[in-house]
Amino acid sequence: TYVVNEQCIKCKYMDCVEVCPVDCFYVGENMLVINPDECIDCGVCEPECPAEAILPDTDNRAEKWVEMNREYAAKWPNITRKGEQPADADAWKGVEGKFETHFS
Ligand code: SF4
Ligand code: F3S
């Protein structure tokens, strides 16, 4: 599976949802997650994200995000169309530690 990490938080560009062939993205207030049980590992979303927030679970930085993505995919609504990104999205790009301070 592929998963979304904290780099999505407050960036939420949503380019990813437009390319997913199985519509397995779910949306919270400040970030999106992938349902790891629905993702077919096609990889097309990874290069679409301007924040480099999507990574495969084979990446050693992905482990903590797999369970987090699974948990919130079960709670949040599905998203298949790009909405309006946050006005300050670019200011949050690459900021570290967003999960601790701005996750919701
Ligand atoms: Fe969707 Fe493919 Fe990305 Fe998985 S890897 S979330 S199936 S676009
Ligand atoms: Fe987030 Fe990147 Fe998608 S910032 S909403 S994972 S395009």
Structural domain contains residue 96: no
Would you say residue 72 lies in a domain?
A: yes
Q: Quote the domain boundaries for residue 6.
A: 2-83
Does the Cβ of 34 fall within 6 Å of ligand 2? no
Tell how far the Cα of 47 is from the centroid of ligand 2, in angstroms. 10
How many domains does one find in the chain?
1
- Here the tokens at position 19 are 């390319």
Q: Is residue 34 part of a domain?
A: yes
Tell me whether residue 45 is in a domain: yes
Please check whether residue 99 lies inside any domain of the structure.
Answer: no
The phi, psi pair for 63, rounded to 5°, reads -50, -50
pLDDT tens column, 11-44: 999 999 999 999 999 999 999 999 999 999 999 9
ipTM of the complex: 0.98
Residue 66 located in a structural domain? yes
CATH number, domain of 46, equals: 3.30.70.20
Closest atom of ligand 1 to CA, residue 1? 4
Q: What is the pLDDT of residues 44-81, one digit of tens each?
A: 999 999 999 999 999 999 999 999 999 999 999 999 99
